[in-house]
Chain A
Amino acid sequence: MKFLVSVFRQSGWACGLGVLAFGYGLYCRQLIVSGSSSSTSVGFWDVVLETVGNPQFIIFVLLAAWLLHAILRGGQETAPQRLLRLGTYRKVLAAGTDQASWHLVGMAVVIILAIVVAAYGLPLVSAPSSGLGPQTVSGAFSTVGVPASVASIWQVLQLGLALLVVRVTFTAIRIHVQKPAIEAALAILIWLWAATSTIGLFDKNSPLNAGLYFQAVSAVAQPAAYAGAVLTMGLIGALAMVAALAADARRTKLWRLHVSPAGLQALAVLVVLSLTMQISIPKESSLFGSISFALQGNSGTIVQYLLSTLVFPGYALVFALGQQESTGSWRAVTLIREGSFGGMLRKVAAREFRRALVYLLFVLLVATAAYFVLGGRDVSLPPQGLGIWTYQFFINGLGQLSFYLLLVYAAEVAFGTRLAALISIGLVVVLSPPNIAVGRWLPVQQSAMSLASGGWEAVLPATASLLLAGVSIAVALGLRIRKRHIVI
């Protein structure tokens, strides 16, 4: 009954995941039916396996939801009243693991039910065996004689174990650090690592390949690397237990990190920008060319899009997390001194404009340093001219940052909660995946360095577009404040 209780308590999550699993089930069903020959039988276990083994479903749905769940629900695990009742950190870890296991079981039941519903629409459900191509998960397992039903159960268990290890890691970190910002940063890093793995950033046999940890099919394709990954997961679990025992022994805290969200953002930019420069240097040998290639925004590949998301909306997210003047008591004591909302807005704008400029200089500096460290030596000027390039990088870059900052600030002020800022940034990211038709009209596109190659005819309209977007937000904020006043 524990899983039923879990499903009931987590009904929101379960429903959301169920709907997404149903959608992915339909998608995978269509995918394997269209990819198989007419003589091939496709059973519902094939659909289940194909869906729960689908890397996009795992990374973009399950892992993302689980990380969010860990952050939102995690604080309760180490709440003082709970600590006092459980008595030791070891028990906190054990209780957290137990609770997370039942959450996983509850969610797994809902997800599999949703996939089964999607799969039973198949015209060919009679035969449970499959003869699908080796490019499919079912096909890969069938080549070594593992039926889809067994492989599905294996995949579900593998996924459950990997997600449980993620959760145990979060609990161990929370026991020692108790900093939501660190947990949020860790969640973003885990997700970025997994997402970049699905697009082939790491070698399939590399221990950094996330597929080894989340996909049971890796046991067939890369058995040695897979064994290493299972061992690593066990090691992480053991380390979490050691961390809990160390906390029980009242030893010195393992981590004494005081990293601000801005510091984490800078670190993330350093890592992700350096990785992206590694990809861009072979394609564009010159310094300006490779920086332009790395910062293509949503007109580039998923890696370039992720980098731009980190550099621009990521910066605004950090601003929203650190911003104190838009909500709560601090806003009250600053407003009473400033005297008017306009006065405070002007002061915040001037300060953030300076910071954004310094940040862009930092991005340029990191990209340049990465270029030289990675072996680049060609510093020839960009073909369209240094003026246009610099204009696009700094002016439209500043415009882009200003737009996002204004957006999160307006959301926080208008709704009086940081959640509104997070939702607004989430919407920006969700609405701007690479190469979508409306992408060119979105502000996320306007600082893409590819525009610089179009000359002034391309970069000046981008500036106008950013100004228009910024003014629209400012007007909306002004109207909101006038209409309802501000929320403290």
Chain B
Amino acid sequence: MSVISLRSVSKKFKGNVLFDELSAEFEQGRTYGLVGPNGSGKSVLFKMICGFLLPDAGSVWIDPKFMAPKRAFPDRFGIMIDGPAFLPGLTGKQNLVDLAAIRNTIGESEVREILALVGLDPDSPQKARNYSLGMKQKLGIAQALMESPDVLLLDEPFNGLDLASVGNIKELLRQRQEDGVTIIFTSHNREDIDELSEVTLLISENRITELAGRR
């Protein structure tokens, strides 16, 4: 059963044609690895799925269970697009607690738990601006994973992480796979894609093509 469907989507972005009549289906509970050269439109595709950008032609269909009547953007989606998002003047925990207060489905204890799971100290007084590249990345992943989303859109989740942390995050993603979460992620490392994804999609020349994968 599809949760996201791209139907003949065309999109120009800043003068470049990114997608031309692109169609794809993303089924519930499956993991999709997106590969493609720089500037091929992977991040734009994520933004269109979320509704932050509209296609010039065609449509992006989202399972109505994620779209309550007054919502313009889907519910229960965990996202990390264009790098980790954080307020530099707050600690990692404060950042997540502030974000969690919007949905109000989890509290501070769950925030502490997810921070510890990604390998960050929940009690650290360090401001996010002073985090290392890898720590910022972990904070971004924690942000996406908290509140137990049903769909995860992760743009380059393993960027800047050391080997042990990559293994840890992969393990967390495997647990989400077992829980039936739909995961769409991008990576320039083919090994990561092959290891985690069931379907590998190549975005190139304005099109999306399915490559061989673990079906």
Distance from A395 Cβ to chain B, minimum over Cβ atoms (Å): 30
Distance from B111 Cβ to chain A, minimum over Cβ atoms (Å): 14
Which residue, of A324, A330, A333, A488, has the highest number of chain B Cβ atoms within 10 A? A333
Bound CA span A299–B67, Å: 51
A329 within 8 Å of B by Cβ? yes
Q: Name A332's contact: one of B47, B54, B75 (CB within 8 Å).
A: B47
Docked complex: A362-382 residues within 8 A CB-CB of B: none
A98 within 8 Å of B by Cβ? no
Q: Is the interface of B mostly helix, strand, loop or mixed?
A: loop
Which residue of A is nearest B85, CB measured?
A: A329
Distance from B58 Cβ to chain A, minimum over Cβ atoms (Å): 15
| A385: B residues at CB distance < 8 A | none
A78 within 8 Å of B by Cβ? no
Docked complex: B32-59 residues within 8 A CB-CB of A: 47, 50, 52-54
Bound CA span A342–B87, Å: 22
The answer to whether A338 touches B102, judged by C-beta atoms less than 8 angstroms apart, is yes
B215 within 8 Å of A by Cβ? no
The number of chain B residues with a CB under 8 A from chain A is 27
Binary contact readout A463-488 vs B (1 if CB under 8 angstroms, 0 otherwise): 00000000000000000000001101
Bound CA span A131–B47, Å: 70
Binary contact readout B48-88 vs A (1 if CB under 8 angstroms, 0 otherwise): 00101110000000000000101111110101111111110
Q: Name B79's contact: one of A328, A332, A339 (CB within 8 Å).
A: A332
Which residue of B is nearest A261, CB measured?
A: B89
Q: Name B72's contact: one of A337, A340, A347 (CB within 8 Å).
A: A340
The answer to whether B85 touches A339, judged by C-beta atoms less than 8 angstroms apart, is no
B172 within 8 Å of A by Cβ? no
Bound CA span A332–B77, Å: 11
B31 within 8 Å of A by Cβ? no
Distance from B70 Cβ to chain A, minimum over Cβ atoms (Å): 6
The answer to whether B77 touches A329, judged by C-beta atoms less than 8 angstroms apart, is no
Q: Name A488's contact: one of B47, B83, B89 (CB within 8 Å).
A: B47
Closest 4 CB pairs of A and B: A329-B85, A339-B71, A337-B102, A340-B72
- Using CB atoms and an 8 Å cutoff, list the residues of chain A in contact with chain B: 260, 324, 328-330, 332-343, 347, 485-486, 488
14 contacts between A and B (CB under 8 A): A324-B87, A328-B85, A329-B83, A330-B85, A332-B50, A332-B52, A332-B85, A335-B73, A336-B73, A336-B77, A339-B73, A340-B71, A343-B70, A488-B52
